[in-house]
């Protein structure tokens, strides 16, 4: 799978980014959350030219449904210090602010001594790469339920138990630009919402924002996610995931979401009743 042979999510046209149909998300004729986050991360990354600064945190807020129409994305450095840089980004569509993001870059340095504790997690192995993948599939994702062989379920996250995924972006976000490791992580972490908010009855929460926290950039094309938590009450949900690459843990994903019954895993949008 290579990004050069697949239709890109968007094409640059002047100062606008024009979506292709593949950029549609699962909630109807709107841009997928991973596309929105990827574009904001792209604009933010363009403001940081110091290779020793690491993108430690990215928060993406989706303020309204982003139609599959041209958008403009810009970013501004809010503060630049010796050990950090703060960058904000905005996505404008038809004159309206539809999404925004903030990022914190921290300067890499010496790793402290000592052993640290973290909840132990074991992901299924990285899946075999398919020889071909249809151009109607936004990204390659291998989802797992309670066990690695739980494909017998209608959808492997629609159960009361653990869930995992390996994600690989195989198409350009913007035509002619191979996504960087930071952009790929910003796109993959959007999976946190659906992964943590599936119940035995299906997916009935839509994400309002998500946060990516990275201790290091992913190594290689695959990014793994493991569900850590879900809490919800009165139609408001939070969920978190652990993020991995082929070498081990790289960070954490966090999603906040609101109840919405319009998701259909088949890709057909159903308006909330």
pLDDT along the chain (273 residues), means of 10: 72 96 81 95 97 98 93 97 97 97 97 93 89 82 72 68 94 96 97 93 90 98 96 97 97 95 49 35
CA-to-CA distance for 93 and 81, rounded, in angstroms? 32
The predicted pLDDT at position 271 comes to: 36
Query: Which CATH homologous superfamily contains domain 10-107+134-259?
Result: Acyl-CoA thioesterase, double hotdog domain (2.40.160.210)
Residue 40, CB-side half-sphere exposure with 13 Å CA sphere: 36
CA pair distance 113, 123, nearest whole angstrom:
27
**Token match 């030219």: residue?**
49
Q: How far is CA 87 from CA 17, 61, 162, 179, 257, in A?
A: 20, 14, 35, 19, 24
What is the domain partition of the chain in residue ranges?
A: 10-107+134-259
Report the relative pairing of strands 84-93 and 96-107 from DSSP bridges.
antiparallel
Task: Please report the pLDDT score of residue 183 as a whole number.
Answer: 98
């Amino acid at each position: 799978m290579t990004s050069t042979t697949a239709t890109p999510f968007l094409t640059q046209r002047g100062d606008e980014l024009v979506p292709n149909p593949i950029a549609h998300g699962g909630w109807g004729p709107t841009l997928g959350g991973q596309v929105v986050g990827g574009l904001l991360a792209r604009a933010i990354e363009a403001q940081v030219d110091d290779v020793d600064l690491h993108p430690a945190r990215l928060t993406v807020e989706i303020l309204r449904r982003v139609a599959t129409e041209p958008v403009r994305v810009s970013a501004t450095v809010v503060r630049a210090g010796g050990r950090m840089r703060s960058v904000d980004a905005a996505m404008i569509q038809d004159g309206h602010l539809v999404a925004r993001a903030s990022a914190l870059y921290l300067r890499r340095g010496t790793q402290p001594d000592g052993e640290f504790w973290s909840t132990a997690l074991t992901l299924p192995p990285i899946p075999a790469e398919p020889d071909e993948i249809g151009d109607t599939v936004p990204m390659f994702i291998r989802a797992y339920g309670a066990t690695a062989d739980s494909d017998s379920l209608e959808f492997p996250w629609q159960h009361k138990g653990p869930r995992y995924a390996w994600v690989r972006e195989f198409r350009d976000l913007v035509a002619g630009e191979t996504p960087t490791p930071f952009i790929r992580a910003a796109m993959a972490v959007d999976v946190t919402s659906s992964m943590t908010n599936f119940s035995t009855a299906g997916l009935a929460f839509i994400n309002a924002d998500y946060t990516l926290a990275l201790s290091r950039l992913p190594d290689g094309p695959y990014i793994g996610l493991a569900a850590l938590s879900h809490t919800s009450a009165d139609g408001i949900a939070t969920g978190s995931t652990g993020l991995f690459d082929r070498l081990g843990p790289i960070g954490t994903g966090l999603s906040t979401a609101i109840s919405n019954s319009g998701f259909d895993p088949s890709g057909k949008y159903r308006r909330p009743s």
